[in-house]
């Protein structure tokens, strides 16, 4: 078949052509409950009316304008993020990997050419560009693309002694995800984040968080690290920020904003009027519809039901992992067939590592939809033999 796309994604079996709320439809008219949310992107669900209205109006007003000129809606978006995250400043880009590149460039500005050493987590995922890939110690991501950037070290998540051994006065930054979304839903413990931050302070090391997947309400707080009370030096955002319109961002703690000077970084498209409108409206809907509360209230009974499923199917399910609406069903064996059966039965999920089924409902999923996911998973597990 003369398929016109490069083969970095193998040829997909399904074309999606329409979405509404928590559902998507394929080109044959079949309806699916979408608990992938475009991999943690469509946090308001598909085609949320307020979001559609805002970007439609913006499309008729001003779509793009260079960052060499002021963009009022971008400034409003930045202020809204500052109000939610804390005193600091923003830079806007277009994706998660670009946000992490910007954090890595920030660490170079902080290191002033003297130190470049960055410590990241084993099993991290930070993206596919060269800096982010260098921070992602996975053979399947890195192979074929070396040499990468040097001076990265890696320690196991939650092993504070291993991190303390690597993070010294010569280290510029640590960069880590509060929950590793791509490699099995591994949660950084609150005590680990606190101790690591304290160690970073004592060694004059930047504490940088990649909240690309965990942020924008997915875990029931605006950012996933909030329960730790730790204040980062920089945060990377993307995915859910625009609810599907591409936008990434870094928030930089007010302590460091003077390191950014005219010309040191930039982006043609980053924070365009369209992207900023999409993101600002996403944040407004999260507030207006009380979606953090919705995640907290909706996730508790849903996770309980998932844990009950784990008890019922203990020969197949190893554990339920994660927080809020970033949940993994860790299985005893490979999940490829189970994911295909769930899809066939009308539930879209997404793999995380080889044996974890990732569930990412929209933040406004209804109880009926959450229960529907439990029913479908149970039916499929009853049918599968291993
Ligand atoms: N960081 C994390 C934690 C991610 O989960 C991802 C994507 O899955 C990225 C960075 C890269 O984001 P993007 O695909 O938008 O470049």
SS3 assignment, position 175: strand
User: Which pair of tokens denotes residue 168?
Assistant: 């010294």
Mean pLDDT, rounded, of the chain: 97
Pocket lining: 212 vs ligand 1, CB cutoff 6 Å: yes
Cβ partners under 8 Å of residue 59, min gap 6: 274
Residue among 36, 42, 94, 96 to mutate when testing ligand 1 (max atoms within 8 A of CB)? 96
Which atom, in ligand 1's list, is nearest to the CA of 124?
3
Residue among 239, 246, 247 to mutate when testing ligand 1 (max atoms within 8 A of CB)? 239
Which atom, in ligand 1's list, is nearest to the CA of 127?
11
Cβ partners under 8 Å of residue 233, min gap 6: 173, 206, 207, 208, 252, 253, 255, 256
Pocket lining: 211 vs ligand 1, CB cutoff 6 Å: no
How many angstroms is it from 184 CA to the middle of ligand 1?
A: 14
Percent of all residues in the chain with a pLDDT value above 90, rounded to a whole number: 98
Burial 248-260 (b: 16+ CB within 10 A, else e): bbbbbbeebeeeb
Pocket lining: 177 vs ligand 1, CB cutoff 6 Å: yes
Look-up of token digits 């005590």: 191
Q: What's the confidence (pLDDT) of residue 119?
A: 98
Q: What's the confidence (pLDDT) of residue 134?
A: 98
Pocket lining: 126 vs ligand 1, CB cutoff 6 Å: yes
Question: 166: left (phi > 0), else alpha (psi -120 to 50), else beta?
Answer: alpha
Query: Beta strands 326-331 and 317-323: pairing type?
Result: antiparallel
Q: What's the confidence (pLDDT) of residue 384?
A: 82
| pLDDT tens, position by position, 266-307 | 999 999 999 999 999 999 999 999 999 999 999 999 999 999
* Nearest alpha-carbon partner for 222 in 372, 80, 21, 32: 80
Residue 1: is its pLDDT beyond 80? no
How many other CB atoms are there within 10 angstroms of residue 312's CB atom? 13
pTM of the model: 0.98
Is 237 in contact with 283 (CB distance < 8 Å)? no
Pocket lining: 95 vs ligand 1, CB cutoff 6 Å: yes
Which atom, in ligand 1's list, is nearest to the CA of 39?
8
Look at ligand 1, atom 13, and give the residue with the nearest C-alpha: 96
How many angstroms is it from 311 CA to the middle of ligand 1?
A: 32
Q: What's the confidence (pLDDT) of residue 386?
A: 55
SS3 assignment, position 293: helix
Q: Nearest 5°: CA angle at 98, between 95 and 102?
A: 140
Q: What is the dihedral of CA 70, 76, 80, 86, to 10 degrees?
A: 40
| pLDDT tens, position by position, 30-55 | 999 999 999 999 999 999 999 999 99
Pocket lining: 181 vs ligand 1, CB cutoff 6 Å: yes
| pLDDT tens, position by position, 80-139 | 999 999 999 999 999 999 999 999 999 999 999 899 999 999 999 999 999 999 999 999
* Nearest alpha-carbon partner for 195 in 207, 187, 180: 207
Percent of all residues in the chain with a pLDDT value above 70, rounded to a whole number: 99
Residue 186: is its pLDDT beyond 60? yes
| Residues linked to residue 329 through DSSP beta bridges, in sequence order | 320, 357
Cβ partners under 8 Å of residue 120, min gap 6: 126, 135, 136, 137, 152, 153, 154, 174, 175, 176
Which atom, in ligand 1's list, is nearest to the CA of 100?
10
Burial class from Cβ neighbours inside 10 Å (0-12, 13-18, 19+) for residue 364 reads: buried
Residue 339: is its pLDDT beyond 60? yes
| pLDDT tens, position by position, 226-248 | 999 999 999 999 999 999 999 99
How many angstroms is it from 136 CA to the middle of ligand 1?
A: 11
How many angstroms is it from 385 CA to the middle of ligand 1?
A: 34
């Amino acid at each position: 078949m003369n398929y016109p796309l490069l083969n970095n994604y193998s040829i997909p079996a399904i074309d999606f052509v329409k979405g509404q709320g928590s559902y998507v439809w394929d080109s044959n008219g079949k309806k699916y409950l979408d608990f992938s949310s475009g991999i943690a992107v469509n946090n308001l669900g598909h085609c949320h009316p307020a979001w559609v209205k805002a970007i439609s109006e913006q499309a008729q007003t001003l779509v793009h304008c260079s960052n060499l000129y002021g963009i009022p809606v971008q400034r409003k978006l930045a202020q809204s993020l500052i109000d939610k995250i804390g005193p600091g400043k923003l830079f806007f880009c277009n994706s998660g990997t670009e946000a992490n590149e910007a954090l890595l460039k920030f660490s170079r500005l902080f290191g002033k050419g003297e130190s470049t050493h960055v410590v990241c987590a084993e099993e991290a995922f930070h993206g596919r560009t060269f800096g982010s890939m260098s921070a992602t110690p996975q053979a399947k991501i890195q192979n074929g693309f070396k040499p990468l950037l040097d001076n990265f070290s890696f320690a196991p998540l939650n092993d504070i002694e291993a991190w303390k051994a690597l993070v010294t006065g010569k280290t510029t930054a640590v960069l880590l995800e509060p929950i590793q979304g791509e490699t099995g839903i591994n949660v950084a413990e609150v005590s680990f984040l606190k101790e690591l931050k304290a160690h970073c302070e004592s060694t004059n090391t930047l504490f940088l968080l990649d909240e690309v997947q965990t942020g924008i309400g997915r875990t029931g707080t605006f950012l996933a690290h909030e329960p730790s009370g730790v204040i980062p030096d920089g945060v990377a955002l993307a995915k859910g920020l625009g609810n599907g319109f591409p936008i990434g961002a870094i928030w930089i703690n007010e302590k460091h904003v003077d390191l950014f000077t005219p010309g040191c970084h930039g982006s043609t498209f980053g924070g365009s009027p369209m992207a900023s409108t999409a993101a600002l409206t996403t944040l407004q809907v999260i507030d207006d519809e009380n979606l953090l509360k919705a995640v907290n209230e909706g996730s508790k009974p849903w996770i309980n039901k998932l844990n009950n499923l784990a008890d019922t199917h203990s020969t197949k399910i190893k554990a339920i992992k994660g927080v809020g609406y970033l949940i993994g069903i860790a299985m005893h064996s490979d999940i490829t067939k189970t994911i295909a059966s769930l899809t066939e039965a009308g539930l879209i999920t997404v793999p995380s590592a080889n044996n974890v089924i990732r569930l990412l409902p929209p933040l406004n999923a209804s109880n009926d939809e959450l229960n529907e996911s439990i029913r479908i998973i149970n039916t499929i597990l009853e049918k599968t033999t291993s």
